[in-house]
């Protein structure tokens, strides 16, 4: 989906090296933004998230039917006929700053059920975060087919860890294989003897502070209003701040404090630009 988040592409390449033969249905492994991936440049690794616009903000039927055009929009139109046949979908991503691995889902209950099963089917359970979507556009997991309250198709998004780390690659493949196994596309294996170590890399580290398996719902989106936005310290995504009213950041004259006890910090952006999301706050369920 994002050209500079190559962990997902590597996971698919590894699965394709020895392709599973599903006993029923159809398995599609889709490299979404090929042009952005082709533009990846080690000297400027952050710059090819997309070519013209963020492909993960375009999944809206009205927009897809409109005259709006861009390189990413054309690719979305190419893929929609396939996406419209999908029963279960896993979208693979990684993050700019250090964070616990997490699964994001939209609010439809069937997605939460699927994400929870996927989170707990792994060697180390993943965090699950529910949110209402993105204010600047519709993500693939929020596409009507997956988020419609009366539908049956399900989707969730993996944030596999920090960009360009070995552990994000390992995590992407581990989660993809558990996802395939849980949907009958691979023979089921016990989680502990799965495939996460086949690269000879250690599984992603878990610490007391990373709260594996916790499920939380996003309640607030903190936007940086000034160029002077600064966190009190470099928080790690998935950290849980114990007490309501704890100061976590300053933004010009404003103080940003946690609104309730046990507040989870979701994907903090440690250097947000003005007008961009600095962090999302989530309540533990
Ligand atoms: Zn991404």
Cα of 236 vs its chain's centroid, Å: 16
Residue 58, strand partner residues: 138
Give 242's DSSP letter.
-
Residue 208 has pLDDT above 60, yes or no: no
CA–CA gap between residue 261 and residue 240 (Å, rounded)? 9
How confident is the model at residue 198, as a pLDDT? 45
Using the mean position of ligand 1's atoms as its centre, give its distance from the Cα of residue 253 in Å. 32
Using a 10 angstrom Cβ sphere, with 0-12 exposed, 13-18 middle and 19 or more buried, the burial of residue 71 is middle
Residue 136 has pLDDT above 90, yes or no: no
How many other β-carbons are positioned within 10 Å of the β-carbon of residue 282? 25
How confident is the model at residue 186, as a pLDDT? 86
Using the mean position of ligand 1's atoms as its centre, give its distance from the Cα of residue 2 in Å. 5
Using the mean position of ligand 1's atoms as its centre, give its distance from the Cα of residue 141 in Å. 12
How confident is the model at residue 42, as a pLDDT? 87
Which residue has 């910090």 as its token pair? 265
Proportion of the chain above pLDDT 70, given as a percent: 92
Using the mean position of ligand 1's atoms as its centre, give its distance from the Cα of residue 18 in Å. 26
The per-residue pLDDT of the chain, averaged, comes to 91
Using the mean position of ligand 1's atoms as its centre, give its distance from the Cα of residue 239 in Å. 20
Residue 205 has pLDDT above 90, yes or no: no
Q: With CA atoms as reference, report the closest residue to 103 among 188, 27, 174, 196.
A: 174
Cα of 145 vs its chain's centroid, Å: 18
How confident is the model at residue 32, as a pLDDT? 97
Residue 200 has pLDDT above 70, yes or no: no
Using the mean position of ligand 1's atoms as its centre, give its distance from the Cα of residue 60 in Å. 18
Using the mean position of ligand 1's atoms as its centre, give its distance from the Cα of residue 4 in Å. 8
Q: With CA atoms as reference, report the closest residue to 217 among 147, 266, 284, 164.
A: 284
Using the mean position of ligand 1's atoms as its centre, give its distance from the Cα of residue 23 in Å. 31
Residue 111 tokens, joined: 């997605």
At residue 112, φ and ψ (nearest 5 deg) are -65, -40
Which residue has 């990413």 as its token pair? 72
At residue 44, φ and ψ (nearest 5 deg) are -135, 65
Using the mean position of ligand 1's atoms as its centre, give its distance from the Cα of residue 129 in Å. 15
How confident is the model at residue 209, as a pLDDT? 58
How confident is the model at residue 105, as a pLDDT? 96
The SS3 of residue 162 is strand
Using the mean position of ligand 1's atoms as its centre, give its distance from the Cα of residue 220 in Å. 20
Using the mean position of ligand 1's atoms as its centre, give its distance from the Cα of residue 279 in Å. 16
The more confidently predicted of residues 195 and 47 is 47
How confident is the model at residue 45, as a pLDDT? 87
Q: With CA atoms as reference, report the closest residue to 30 among 84, 90, 103, 120.
A: 90
Using the mean position of ligand 1's atoms as its centre, give its distance from the Cα of residue 5 in Å. 6
Strand 215-223 to 127-130 pairing: parallel
Using the mean position of ligand 1's atoms as its centre, give its distance from the Cα of residue 54 in Å. 9
What's the whole-number mean pLDDT along residues 244-251?
Answer: 98
pLDDT in tens, 72-125: 999 999 999 999 999 999 999 999 999 999 999 998 999 999 999 999 999 999
What's the whole-number mean pLDDT along residues 170-179?
Answer: 97
pTM given for the model: 0.91
Using the mean position of ligand 1's atoms as its centre, give its distance from the Cα of residue 7 in Å. 10
pLDDT in tens, 212-239: 889 999 999 999 999 999 999 999 999 9
Quick one: which H or E segment has residue 64? Answer: helix 61-65
How confident is the model at residue 56, as a pLDDT? 97
| Residue pair 161/143 in contact by the 8 Å Cβ criterion | no
Strand 263-266 to 277-284 pairing: antiparallel
Structural domains of the chain ordered from first start = 6-209 (3.40.630.10), 217-284 (2.40.50.100)
**Lowest mean per-residue pLDDT among 52-56, 197-201, 265-269:** 197-201
CA–CA gap between residue 92 and residue 102 (Å, rounded)? 11
């Amino acid at each position: 989906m994002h050209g500079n988040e190559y962990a997902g592409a590597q996971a698919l390449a590894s699965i394709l090296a020895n392709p599973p033969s599903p006993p029923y249905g159809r398995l599609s492994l889709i490299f979404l933004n090929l042009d952005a991936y082709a533009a990846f440049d080690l000297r400027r690794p952050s710059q090819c998230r997309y070519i013209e616009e963020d492909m993960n903000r375009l999944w809206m039927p009205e927009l897809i039917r409109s005259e709006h055009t861009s390189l990413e929009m054309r690719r979305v139109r190419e893929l929609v006929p396939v996406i419209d046949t999908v029963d279960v979908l896993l979208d693979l991503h990684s993050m700019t700053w250090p964070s616990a691995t997490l699964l994001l889902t939209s609010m439809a209950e069937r997605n939460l059920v699927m994400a929870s099963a996927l989170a707990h089917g792994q060697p180390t359970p993943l965090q699950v975060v529910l949110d209402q979507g993105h204010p600047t556009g519709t993500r693939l997991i929020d596409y009507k087919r997956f988020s419609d309250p009366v539908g049956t198709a399900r989707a969730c998004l993996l944030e596999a860890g920090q960009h360009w780390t070995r552990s994000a690659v390992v995590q992407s493949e581990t989660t993809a294989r558990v996802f395939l196994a849980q949907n009958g596309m691979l023979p089921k294996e016990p989680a502990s003897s799965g495939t996460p170590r086949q690269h000879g890399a250690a599984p992603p580290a878990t610490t007391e502070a990373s709260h594996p398996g916790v499920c939380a719902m996003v309640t607030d989106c903190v936007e940086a209003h000034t160029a002077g936005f600064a966190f009190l310290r470099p928080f790690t995504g998935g950290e849980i701040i114990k007490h309501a009213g704890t100061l976590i950041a300053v933004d010009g004259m404003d103080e940003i404090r946690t609104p309730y006890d046990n507040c989870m910090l979701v994907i903090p952006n440690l250097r947000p630009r003005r007008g961009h999301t600095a962090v999302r706050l989530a309540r533990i369920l």
